[in-house]
Amino acid sequence: ELLNIKYKVLEHSPTYTLKELKDVKKKLNGTICQSFLVTDRKMVYFLLVFEENKTVNLKTLAQKLRVSELKYASELDLLGVLRKEKVGNVTPFDIANDFNDIVILVIDSKLKDKTLIFQPDGNTKTIAIQFNDLVKFINYEEHQCIYI
């Protein structure tokens, strides 16, 4: 409310596949996003946000970001950095738990001007938010963001 961010939350039966999630997508009329926490050799953390069907080549991405080799963060990293206990269930909203402000967001620029769909906690709740409102949240949290 403080930031005047508009979003929709849809609670639904568990979704286990992209096909099931596409039914939710129709109701929210947006773009399903995938998010991953990765790290380089210097333990710099990046939270990647891309469209659902986009394949992310970590080697190419590392070159674009001008960092050493990227790898997926471990369960310990998720717990220590974002206070997350489940691997594979990361969203940009998790930066609110990055109390040390060490995570850099990397967002696909093709998501601009779209309604973005995320599943923040498990597979029974889905959030739809406009790209610009997500940027407001990121700025409020004072996190660095790179658009590629």
pTM for the full predicted model: 0.91
User: What tokens were used for 59?
Assistant: 């080697």
Question: Could you tell me the pLDDT band of residue 19, with boundaries at 50, 70 and 90?
Answer: confident
List pLDDT tens digits, range 76-115: 999 999 998 766 679 999 999 999 999 999 999 999 999 9
First to last CA, the chain: 29
CA distance 148 to 140: 21
